[in-house]
Structure 1
Amino acid sequence: MSGVAGNLTGASVSGAASMGPDAGPHEDSRLAVGVCTRDRPDALVRCIRSLGAIAGLVGDVIVVDDGSRVPVEPGLREALGPDAPPGLRVLRSEASRGLAAGRNAIVHATASAYVLNLDDDASVVDPAAIHAALAVFDTDPRVGAVALAQGDEQGRAWPAQAQPAPVSVPSRVASFVGYGHVLRRRAMLQVGGYREELVMTGEEKELCLRLLDAGWRVVYLPDAVVAHRADPGGRDMRRYLHLTVRNDVLIALYTLPLPLALGGAMVRLRRYFQMRRGWNVDDPEGFAGVLRRLAPAARVALGARTPVKWSTVREWRRLTQEPAPYPGPDE
């Protein structure tokens, strides 16, 4: 698909090197774990250590070092010592390319059927959460992604408004959230992976919209909790504001039927002012800075549109407003 990660046909991050002891993909497990990181070494060590809870499930552990100022692998291996997962590999990109490119690289680098993606400040607290996700895939071949709940380090879930959907039972939902989710690799390959032009912020919902259009389901398990201790390192609210507005517009232009794309782009641009006030962001560049960065990307998006079906838009809206309880594969 034009504009989407080259259909995941490469080997890893462009310009990156595989620095671990094994350069090739493993086939000894159906589950790989992927973690993208940049300049948060302590959080990364905590995340990788937590994988000991699911050691029996995991073959590959793939860390994408997305342009950290100090390469992460030497310090990570020293900190982990003998506790390093046997399948640990680090792919380093000298320049940051963003979460979307990093997570596509993880899919390139493994042959496992499923990929558990964790933010570097997330961690596994209960192996039952991961077993539950794999059970959904095993029983329903139409599931392309499983969304996990986020909680504290004791496995207590955060309030419903902080989750992928405000539900208390397993449900079909519009999208997962990036801190913790499991993907069916075959579904990713089919739809072309994350759209790398988005870099980060909103890339999950854009992927889920295309998954839905291709007939795949996203299921959220509210009792399957991973810990997410948000690390402030590397967070820039001004950049986040600009990326959120830019990407919301680009998602509309890339994926929505034309009448919705044009109208939706204008609506999303106006949200800049509301978000800037609500988030109390000091933004000297202002709205003009958003437009300046958006213009060239918007031209690319208009030339590479892959709009979803109208029926997909209706289903997406329905699931956004009212997630559907998910009893199992026959639902």
Structure 2
Amino acid sequence: MTDLAPIDRPLTIGICTRGRRDALLRCLRSLRHADAVTDRVIVVDDGSEPPVEPGLREALGADAPPRLTVIRFERGRGVSAGRNRIAAEARTPWILYLDDDAALLSADAARAGMDVLARDPSVAAVAYPQSDADGVLYPAGAQPSPSTRPSLVRTFIGFGHMVRRDALLAVGGYRELLEIMGEERELSLRLLDAGHHIVYLPDAPIAHLADAGGRDARRFLYLTVRNDVLSALLNEPLPMAVASAPVRLWRYFPMRRHWGGEDPGGFRRIVGAVAGALPRIARERRAVRWQTLRAWRELAASPPYHPPDGPS
């Protein structure tokens, strides 16, 4: 493990991007709010065509965040691989991950997250609410929790979340098999099994200015169902995984009806992808404890979070 950064800059900000240059520029400009606490900004270009690096700093001009690093994957590998690369490169105890269409509104969200992680070593991740560009929160259904006070929650939304780097690495990082879609929920279950918590801060919004670039409804359906099945097979106790995997597969049909689009051969592609992943699942599978699943169910109520007194 690399040495930690000086305590006055304990944060790495990591962004995975693919083909959304304008959104990325807006995101990077917003990071100047957090200059005082940021050691490095690491951008992973996940196979964008054209690459994002040529001319990026010139386009940003004086708005370029200091200590900006761009890493390119020549072939798209998904945000899970990108976030793992960022964690491997980071020198700080905490990482703030942002989607390229997110933006900081001020330093408040970053500082609030760092305060929680500094005071409570049991917390492995911080979840943030989504807002518009003016900081107005989106409806409760679009948030990690409907709670209006700091709460313990099951998971975070990937557009903006802060993690404790050593906890992330200890559980093996993001599952690169999942690529994108549901990877946050799967990681959260493993963090919970390792004895960690996730805290939601409803008063620390980060703007999520959703960019439709690169979004495809069929791929969304495919990844959602496939990853739901893969996550069950990777993490659930065997009797539960055997019973739940077919149910999760079958959810494809009501989801497709709700979507209302055509998806010729979509179900066969998902079944084929799951079958093809079985050898890797056999190597990587580690069932969580039954008590973890009980705790997961209880977290649906978003119980209030009570921080410890004073610094850790």
| TM score, norm. by length of structure 1 | 0.90
Is the Cα contact below 8 Å between 1:25 and 1:110 reproduced in 2? no
Is the Cα contact below 8 Å between 2:151 and 2:199 reproduced in 1? yes
Residues 297-306 or 125-134, more deviating:
297-306
Q: Which residue is equivalent to 1:270?
A: 250
Q: Distance in 2 between matches of 1:117 and 1:281?
A: 32
Structure 2, unaligned runs of 5 or more: none
1:323 is aligned to 2:302: yes
Q: Distance in 2 between matches of 1:266 and 1:132?
A: 41
The CA deviation at 1:286 is: 2.9
Q: Distance in 2 between matches of 1:211 and 1:222?
A: 21
For the residue of structure 2 that corresponds to 1:222, the secondary structure is coil
Residues 270-279 or 74-83, more deviating:
74-83
Size of the aligned set, in residue pairs, is 307
Q: Distance in 2 between matches of 1:291 and 1:138?
A: 44
1:52 is aligned to 2:32: yes
For the residue of structure 2 that corresponds to 1:269, the secondary structure is helix
For the residue of structure 2 that corresponds to 1:73, the secondary structure is coil
Q: Which residue is equivalent to 2:118?
A: 138
Is the Cα contact below 8 Å between 2:236 and 2:287 reproduced in 1? yes
The CA deviation at 1:57 is: 1.0
| TM score, norm. by length of structure 2 | 0.95
* Aligned pair partner of 1:236 in 213, 216, 230: 216
Q: Which residue is equivalent to 1:204?
A: 184
Is the Cα contact below 8 Å between 1:25 and 1:60 reproduced in 2? no
Q: Which residue is equivalent to 1:148?
A: 128
Q: Which residue is equivalent to 2:261?
A: 281
Structure 1, unaligned runs of 5 or more: 1-8, 10-23
Q: Distance in 2 between matches of 1:237 and 1:164?
A: 22
Q: Which residue is equivalent to 2:142?
A: 162
Q: Which residue is equivalent to 1:309?
A: 289
The CA deviation at 1:120 is: 0.2
Q: Which residue is equivalent to 1:27?
A: 5
Output the amino acid matched with 2:83.
R
The CA deviation at 1:280 is: 2.0
Q: Which runs of 4+ in 1 moved over 6 A?
A: none
Is the Cα contact below 8 Å between 1:25 and 1:109 reproduced in 2? no
Q: Distance in 2 between matches of 1:86 and 1:271?
A: 46
Q: Which residue is equivalent to 2:154?
A: 174
For the residue of structure 2 that corresponds to 1:254, the secondary structure is helix
Q: Which residue is equivalent to 1:186?
A: 166
Q: Which residue is equivalent to 2:207?
A: 227
Is the Cα contact below 8 Å between 1:118 and 1:181 reproduced in 2? yes
The CA deviation at 1:303 is: 4.1
The CA deviation at 1:256 is: 0.6
* Aligned pair partner of 2:20 in 40, 53, 74: 40
The CA deviation at 1:34 is: 0.2
1:107 is aligned to 2:87: yes
For the residue of structure 2 that corresponds to 1:145, the secondary structure is strand
For the residue of structure 1 that corresponds to 2:200, the secondary structure is strand
Give the percent of matched residue pairs that are identical in Structure 1 and Structure 2. Answer: 53
